[in-house]
Every structure is written in C-alpha cells, then in structure tokens.
Structure 1
C-alpha cells in the first residue's frame, strides 16, 4: 500500500510540475510574441523592397501572433495584406533607402483581382520614380507571370519555365458519392444559372453553367492577354498561339527566345544583378526588407499631416453568416461597424471593401439595411476585391458608387435552398431508425431523415421566390434599374467586373485606393485620413481568443497548404442547410 501511495504522490507531483512549467512557458511565448510586435523596424541604406507573393494574399494584413512561429514538420503558409503592399510601394517612392523592388514570384496564392490591384500599384510606382522592378522566379504560374510582366526585367531559372496555356477551371460533383452514402440533397432554387447546387444534383456542368463560365473566363483571359501584350510588346494573337502550343514544359532559354522573359539566370547571377541595382560591391549581401515589415517602418518623406476628416474603410471578407474557415462575415457584427461609422460625425465617408461569395440571406439583409441607412446619410462607396457575388453583391447594391476590377467576379443574383435527406444513410446503411411524435400536421417540418412533402417543397419554393424578389428589388432600387432589367441579368449568373460595367452592376474600374479617392472627391475632401475597421485585436488578445477550432484550422492550413481549400469546401457543403444567396462554387482558376 505504501508503494501505491508513493507512486500516486509522484504522479501528482509530476503533473503539477509539468503544469507549472507549461504555465510559465505559455506566458513566455506570449511575452515574446507581444514584444516582437513592438520592435522598431530598421531599414538599411541601399535596400531592396521584397514582395513575396507565394504567401496567401488577403485584403488586410493579419495581426496574427502565430504568423512568424515556425513549427518543425509543418509547412509555413503566411499571409500578406494588400494594404501592406500598397502602403509600402507608396512609401518606397520617396524613401532614398529603397533602391528598387524585388518581386519574388513562382506561384501567386491569391485571386485575379488581387493580382490586378498589385499590378496597378506597381505601375503607379514605376510612373512615380525611376527605381527598377526586378522579377525572379524558379518558375512562373500564369498569375505570377501576368504580375511579373510589369517589371523592368523578368528573370527565370534556366531549368524553370513559364506556365502559359490559357485558363481552365474544374468543378467537383458529389452526386454519386451521396447516392452511395444514402444521402439525397433536396434542392429548391431560383435562377437557371444558380449553379451552387449542381455538384449535389448533377454529374457534370449544365449548359447554362458552362456558358457563364466560358463568358467570364474568356473575359479574364482577354484582360491578361492585353496587359501582357502591352508590356512585352507581343501581339495578342501571338500570345494565344503560344498558349495553344503550351509553354509549361519549355525551359528558361526557350522562354527567353519567345520573348516571354528577359533572361534565364541562376540565383547567384540574380544576386549580382541586385548588387548592381543597390550599389553593393563585391560579394556582400543585399539588404532587403519585406513589405510586411516595411509597412510598419516610419518614412519621414512620406509623413502626412494629421487631419480631423476621417474616411472609414470597413473590411468584409469571407462567407456571410457561415462560421466556417478563418474568415466569416457576421451580419450583426459588420452591421454594428457600419452603424458606428454612420453615427460618428468625424467620419465624412465610408468605403466598404467586400471580398465575399455570399452566404446567409438573413445576415445579408441585416448588412444591406445598415449599408442603405449609411448611404442615406453619408457618402458610401463600395470596393470589390476578388469576389463580390450573390450575398456579396446583395450588401453592396445600396451604395452611391461601386468600384471593381475588370477581373473581379461578381453578380450571381439568385437564391437557393438545400435540405439533405439522410434517411437511407441512417436506416439502410447504419441501421438507425427514427420515429416522430407531433401535435400538428407539420410539426416535423423539413426533417433531415425523410424526403420533403409536396407541401414543404411548396413552402420552401415560395420562400425562395420571395427572397429572390426581395433581392432583385434591392438591386433595382440601388442601381436605378427596373426589376425586369435586374432579373434579365440575374438568374444566378456570374459576371466579371468587365461584364458588370457594361450591364450596370458596377460604376467604374479600380481598386481600394481608387474607391477611397472617389469617396474623398465626392465629399470634396483635400485632407483626410483613413481608419481601418473593425479594429484588430492586439497579439495578446488574439492569442487568448484563439480557441481549439482556430488552432485546429491553423494546423490544418500548415499541413495542407493550398489544398486546404478542398477540405474547407467539403466542410461548407456538409453544413449548408437552409436558404442562401451564395456564389455558384468556390472558384479556383489556373
């Protein structure tokens, strides 16, 4: 018995010791993370500003305490903010310490509109100073190459290549898999182009869906070709011919011969080029600073006078009302931010930055109401990012002006509902049966264990029709159109920004900075400052907020990398029960 108590006591003491050590280690990590954010960024003379776009591109730089934390065995997928890239390029124009921009490219982990926004910022940089832009990649995917074409010199590794073959997209269909599992997706929708439900009811694309994909993909490709043609002095016909012949497997020397790039060089030769640009002699290292750090660095020449006039820049990124993934737009939370800016007299205008494929109709309506109220009292300009479709367009339509890139994905004005019937899975596959007790005829409305009744389907279809009518009414009111005109370009159809300008869904082309300048122009503001909302938590608060779900998501992202989106899509699909105003699919164009 003495031995038993001895071992029990030793175990308890051991657990207590480990807990105490873990407690102190936890707060040491917090201290290190917090202190690291307070460090002053030092920029050396003769530096190159490095833009590494293999990181995930998001609208707003994260205040993530784990961003620079490396864990052995987990690939590091960091995020880079468009706001950091743009502010860094603006400052670098005036900073004598920065001698040029180094684009570190291979694969761009971002959407087409984000690439366009960065490309335009680089063109502005070139037009505003005589500092060179140097692009290098071991290889270039198509988005990376499109971005690289703005550089003064494009260099590829001799064994690298330029992936140039035209755009293609692929959809996954789950119909047969669901049949094998014994799950029936019961679908009600309005809009022949509303293809969000097709993966659950078909085995291939409908003709309407194929048509809309060809239209907007062709628009994206033509935009890319025009930009490449202008900067590389290659006719569009010649570029299409090269794409048809596929450049993907051709080595660096052949890319030079075709005129796609300027040189094929090894990394040591690239470093020699950078030394020439920066004036570094011998074999000394080239001073570099990342945009993430440089965005925090003070630049005397770029300092702006303080202004009491404020423009609120409110970010809305992620699915609307669907708490899946690390970015989500909650109707009440975003509505509160818009309301606070509307009621604060120091804010002269509001710019709402939307990057969303849509989601919950209810949350979209909550946000729409706040946007409408804000637009009635103040200048309200909306800026579209990579995607502002379905619910993402729903919340934008009351604005005074909508600004988007030609390759923004938007539209998708339509609504659908989806109720799974898992009766066969439970009964036939798992041997689980259910029984019902109810006080009224339809007390078990929309059960997940049986097919919908004709009456239930009628009720749901009626709800969908009313929701669609409300959607097109909002768009008609906000865009100065008739409901019939909106319905004609609605029906769930997806458009690019280029198409959207032609049919009246947006007002002009541009990025977030253009939207801010437009808001200032409308208000007649010469001096103003922007305030980004919602306020980001500091690293300590962010760490405490990070619950088990966020930690799991973080580890999955590190492990799966870009393939995480497939996991996220399946997760979203499994939880989509109810009525949604969402884009037809999660779009990935290669």
Structure 2
C-alpha cells in the first residue's frame, strides 16, 4: 500500500511538472533565445529600490518566479552599460522609506556618481524616511542624485541610526532552558542574546563603534551630495523630524512633489519623446556585460551563510548560501580556464562553518599558486567565516560601511530537559562509545570532560583563524590577536588596521585585478562568471531530489523531452546529510 501511494505521488508530481513547470521552462528558454527589444531613443530608466536588493544575482533560473529582484552587483553593471548607451538619457530612483544595508548604499552611490559623470541626470524621489534602522543610508543614495524630490505629505525622520537587540537570558532562566556556549572572545557577541539580559560592556562598545562609523560615513556621503559640510548636515538632520516643506527649507531636499511629477521632470530632461523604462526590463534586454579582449577576469560570487556541500540558493530562488563544494569548484574552474588572468571574488557573508570556509580558502590559495591573483570585493558584510575565506587573497576591497573582521568563533548547545519537563515531557539520553558521543545531547549539560574537550576545539579553531589572517595579511600573530577577539569592524575602520587594502566596490576590485595581472588599465577584458547559471533542469533536479518517486517521474519526463540533464536528479535522491553541531564562525549582520 505504501508503494502504491508513493507511485501515485510520483505520477501526480510528474503531471504537475508537465503541465506547470515544463511550460515555464520552455517559455524561459524561448524568451532567452528571442531577439532583444530595442531601447527607446530617449529612455529614462526607473530604478525602484523599495523592494530591496540582494548582493549578487542568483544562479537559479527560477529566481525571478519566486519574487527575487535585482542585486547590487547587477545594478552597478547595468548602470555602467547605461552610462555608455546613447539611448539612455536619465535615471529616476525610487527610494525606500525604511533604509537599506549601509554597504549597499555606498556601492549604489558610487555607481550613481559614475552615471552622472557620463553627463546624464539623476532624479531621486522619496515618500519619506522613517526614524528606524538605517534610513540615513537611503538618504545618502538620494543625495547622490542631481535632484532629490520628496512627496508633499511625507516626513523626513532620518535623525540617526538605531537598533534594538532582544536578549533571552532571563526568559531562558525562567523557563528552564540552559544555553551552554563557548565564545572566543568577549566581542564575539552572537551568543549574548541567549545568555544575557543586557549588553555586556564589550558588546555595547563594539556595536556603538561600528554603528557610529556607519552613521559618520552616511552623513559624510550625503553631505558631499548636498554641498554641505558633514558637521552642518549632521546638525540639521539631528534637529528633525521635518515635514516635506521644512526639509526643503533646510536644504535637505530640492523639490516637493508627487512621483508622477518627478517622472515628468526626468522625461523632460531626456527629450521631447522621453519614455520611462523599468530598470529590470532594461537589465534583461542588455544582459550582463561581457567585455572584450583576449584576456579575461573571472567573477566568482558567494552570498549568504557558509556551509558544506552543494546546491545553494534554494530550489526555486530561496535564501542564498555559500556552499563550499560549489564555490571551491567555481574557483578551480577559473584556475583551469586559460583565458582567465585574474579572479575577483565577491563575498557577502556573515560566516558559517570553519570547515567549509577552509575548503574555499584552499581554492583561493590554489589560484594564487597557479599565478592568478585573487582580489576580494566585500559586499554588505564579509565577517567571521566571510573574512576567513577572504584573508589570504592578494588584495581586499571593502566599502566604508562593510561589516568585516569578527575574527573569532563560538559554539554550544541548548539543554532543554528542564523546560520540557515542565510540560510533562521527559527526555532521557542513552548512548554507546566514548564520553564525547553524548556531548551535544539536549537532555543533559556538558560534563566537565566534555566541556573541556569542546573548549579545546574552540581554541584550535580560533588559533587556525588567527594563523590564516596572520599569513594572508602579513601581520604578526600577536597583532592579529589584539584586533581580533571576535570584534566587528567597518571597512573604514579595518583599512588602517591592515585588514583590508582599499575602499570601494566591485568596479575598483576589477581595476585592481587587472593591475595585478599586469593588464594595462586601458586594455579591455572579458568577464567570465563562475559558477554559471543552472539550467532549468538542474534547478528542477535540486528541487525534487529528495523525493525518490518524483525523481523517477522527472527522469521519465526528461526522457520524453529528450533532455539528458534531467538524469542528474537521481544523484539527489539520497537526501541531505545530517550535520553534527560544532563550531561556527558567524558575525552580527547589518540592518536592512
């Protein structure tokens, strides 16, 4: 009977694939191969930032169908192409009310200034800035435009940079949850939410420091765009909030009006036949910039938590992760490509598994050993494990507001026996083998010997991390220990410490990669992206790989469709490996 239901399930899944997914696959392929529409002669690109940006494009062909939008690196690339496109005359930006990731704001502001340098006007429109999170970073992006508009009923409330932290220490104590963690060292604050009821002095010191640095950077960037000194702009901002008319009087904005009025102004500047084109449509039309020339620069991407294994990014465009097998393989593929002379490794990650991080770092070492320089471009954050995989690159480029460093480690477990017992649930542990076999049991605390063994493992991981940074950054180990201890730094703070080499984005990273590869600055290069985007069948294989009967149905369907790539699904039927608990190298992440 069980087999009968599994077979029915497989057939049903096959029908769904045939009737729903396959048409989508065929439509995607048809759209990909069709001729590109012509860009209107007087185009105004409209870039809507209100839905947020990922750092990098997804390699999953179904990402668009799950609501995945644009990415920072894609926007930068498309703006560069638009700056050279004679048909694109102007840019209109819709700004978010709630702010954006600070490093994203840095990179967008730089790209906007390059677009303006091509002689093309930029108009930004806001429906207000809320007094939460990093709204001041959103304001900085608007300030980079030629004109900054604000809706008449909106409020300018970006008076600073704030965040709330939730601590569960007292609640855990009340309800019998025992959080047993080790951290190296006092600034590795990821576990504090589970063990404390308030900021520790080190936690408060570190957060205040990087928040102040981000705020200072945003105010300085906005002041540059508004033609004011940072001190003067700070005084005006912090005296808020303001109505739209008051913000105009205070020179925080240039015009008050509806977005339709801002669109009309942008079209007027584009010409008598000015036409609005959505940024995403234009990006699809022009595709990714490929460049030209005999030499190539590889662009390798990595976004999200660092984990072991393959197949990151979610079945149909879900949350991103850096899978160590995939990322290492992408770097090795770039090494083997004879046309590739240098590698730009774009990293946006709060960290993750030390083992996965080391696997990726080994690939970076292999690239350097093969004579191909590696330049890391840090995105929103490249901290903890994200810094581990970056540490031995030839050159590191970070945005002023990138969160980096966090050279430290933590790990542990929750003991739930007391909490569950209060609800009549009794847990008992039984095992065979050595004493450490039950170390991560949730029914009992660490024994003294287990705690000692686990702490020794934390120490080894921390020392390994110190050694990688010392080697890669050419710093004495003792100096690394002084600036490590789990502390998060912004890119601007990390530069004088020697943790990064240059402030900037992916554009600056590419220029440095060319220089290290001894390619003349005025010589064009091709861009090769690794890993390549998955085919629709590969994405389907990952989506249904854990369903054996569905897998067989998909393979049969693949045979009917004469697409042998569908056979790859059978490699996924064994499911995902169970991973034991252990050390993590994770850092705090910036607010959206």
TM-score tier by shorter-chain length is 0.7 to 0.9
Larger CA deviation: 18-27 vs 485-494: 18-27
**Residue in 2 that maps onto 1:320:** 306
Is residue 2:338 matched to residue 1:345?
yes
Q: CA deviation at 1:187?
A: 0.7
Rounded Cα–Cα distance in structure 2 between residues aligned with 1:124 and 1:576: 48
Rounded Cα–Cα distance in structure 2 between residues aligned with 1:166 and 1:548: 48
Is residue 2:586 matched to residue 1:582?
yes
Please give the residue correspondences for 1:128-527 in structure 2 after superposition, counting only pairs within 5 Å. 129-140=118-129, 141-247=135-241, 250-280=242-272, 287-298=275-286, 306-321=292-307, 326-377=319-370, 378-525=372-519, 526-527=523-524
Where 1:579 maps in the other structure, the secondary structure is coil
- Do the aligned residues in 1 keep the contact of 2:305 with 2:351 (CA within 8 Å)? yes
**Residue in 2 that maps onto 1:565:** none
Q: CA deviation at 1:89?
A: 1.6
RMSD: 2.8
Where 2:377 maps in the other structure, the secondary structure is strand
Where 2:191 maps in the other structure, the secondary structure is helix
**Residue in 2 that maps onto 1:567:** none
Q: CA deviation at 1:414?
A: 0.5
Question: Does the C-alpha gap of structure 1 residues 334 and 245 become closer, same or farther in structure 2, counting only changes over 3 Å?
Answer: same
Where 1:79 maps in the other structure, the secondary structure is coil
Rounded Cα–Cα distance in structure 2 between residues aligned with 1:433 and 1:254: 63
Is residue 2:27 matched to residue 1:44?
no
- Do the aligned residues in 2 keep the contact of 1:113 with 1:408 (CA within 8 Å)? yes
Q: CA deviation at 1:477?
A: 0.8
Question: Does the C-alpha gap of structure 1 residues 305 and 35 become closer, same or farther in structure 2, counting only changes over 3 Å?
Answer: closer
**Residue in 2 that maps onto 1:27:** 22
Question: Does the C-alpha gap of structure 1 residues 176 and 507 become closer, same or farther in structure 2, counting only changes over 3 Å?
Answer: same
Q: 2:103 aligns with which of 94, 108, 113?
A: 113
- Do the aligned residues in 2 keep the contact of 1:106 with 1:144 (CA within 8 Å)? yes
Question: Does the C-alpha gap of structure 1 residues 142 and 535 become closer, same or farther in structure 2, counting only changes over 3 Å?
Answer: same
User: Taking structure 2 as the reference length, what is the TM-score of the superposition?
Assistant: 0.84
Larger CA deviation: 18-27 vs 521-530: 18-27
Q: CA deviation at 1:437?
A: 4.6
Q: CA deviation at 1:143?
A: 2.3
- Do the aligned residues in 2 keep the contact of 1:389 with 1:582 (CA within 8 Å)? yes
Q: CA deviation at 1:353?
A: 0.8
- Do the aligned residues in 2 keep the contact of 1:108 with 1:143 (CA within 8 Å)? no
Larger CA deviation: 430-439 vs 41-50: 430-439
Q: CA deviation at 1:106?
A: 2.6
Q: Deviations over 1:69-125 (max 9, x none)?
A: 5xxxxxx95421223212222222232211101111134774211111111011111
Rounded Cα–Cα distance in structure 2 between residues aligned with 1:224 and 1:175: 34
Larger CA deviation: 78-87 vs 101-110: 101-110
- Do the aligned residues in 2 keep the contact of 1:350 with 1:519 (CA within 8 Å)? yes
**Residue in 2 that maps onto 1:572:** none
Q: Deviations over 1:429-475 (max 9, x none)?
A: 34223142535555433322101011111111111111111110111
Q: 1:97 aligns with which of 48, 69, 87?
A: 87
Q: Which runs of 5+ in 2 are unaligned?
A: 1-7, 130-134, 547-578
Rounded Cα–Cα distance in structure 2 between residues aligned with 1:319 and 1:18: 31
Question: Does the C-alpha gap of structure 1 residues 108 and 345 become closer, same or farther in structure 2, counting only changes over 3 Å?
Answer: farther
Rounded Cα–Cα distance in structure 2 between residues aligned with 1:372 and 1:65: 31
- Do the aligned residues in 1 keep the contact of 2:92 with 2:122 (CA within 8 Å)? yes
Rounded Cα–Cα distance in structure 2 between residues aligned with 1:437 and 1:131: 70
Q: 2:542 aligns with which of 537, 540, 545?
A: 545
Rounded Cα–Cα distance in structure 2 between residues aligned with 1:458 and 1:68: 48
Q: CA deviation at 1:524?
A: 1.5
**Residue in 2 that maps onto 1:571:** none
Where 2:213 maps in the other structure, the secondary structure is helix
Rounded Cα–Cα distance in structure 2 between residues aligned with 1:362 and 1:224: 36
Larger CA deviation: 225-234 vs 33-42: 33-42
- Do the aligned residues in 2 keep the contact of 1:166 with 1:244 (CA within 8 Å)? yes
Larger CA deviation: 467-476 vs 170-179: 170-179
**Residue in 1 that maps onto 2:113:** 123
- Do the aligned residues in 2 keep the contact of 1:351 with 1:516 (CA within 8 Å)? yes
- Do the aligned residues in 2 keep the contact of 1:112 with 1:143 (CA within 8 Å)? yes
- Do the aligned residues in 2 keep the contact of 1:418 with 1:576 (CA within 8 Å)? no
Rounded Cα–Cα distance in structure 2 between residues aligned with 1:241 and 1:455: 57
Where 2:285 maps in the other structure, the secondary structure is coil
Rounded Cα–Cα distance in structure 1 between residues aligned with 2:344 and 2:149: 38
Q: CA deviation at 1:498?
A: 0.7
- Do the aligned residues in 1 keep the contact of 2:123 with 2:262 (CA within 8 Å)? no
Q: CA deviation at 1:547?
A: 4.8
Question: Does the C-alpha gap of structure 1 residues 440 and 90 become closer, same or farther in structure 2, counting only changes over 3 Å?
Answer: closer
Q: CA deviation at 1:336?
A: 1.7
* Superposed structure 1 runs of 4+ greater than 6 Å apart: 16-19, 302-305, 322-325
User: Taking structure 1 as the reference length, what is the TM-score of the superposition?
Assistant: 0.84
Q: Which runs of 5+ in 1 are unaligned?
A: 1-12, 70-75, 550-574
Question: Does the C-alpha gap of structure 1 residues 576 and 204 become closer, same or farther in structure 2, counting only changes over 3 Å?
Answer: farther
Question: Does the C-alpha gap of structure 1 residues 37 and 181 become closer, same or farther in structure 2, counting only changes over 3 Å?
Answer: farther
Where 2:513 maps in the other structure, the secondary structure is helix
Q: CA deviation at 1:68?
A: 5.3
Q: Deviations over 1:289-337 (max 9, x none)?
A: 23333234359xx998742311111111110117796111122221122
Larger CA deviation: 529-538 vs 88-97: 88-97
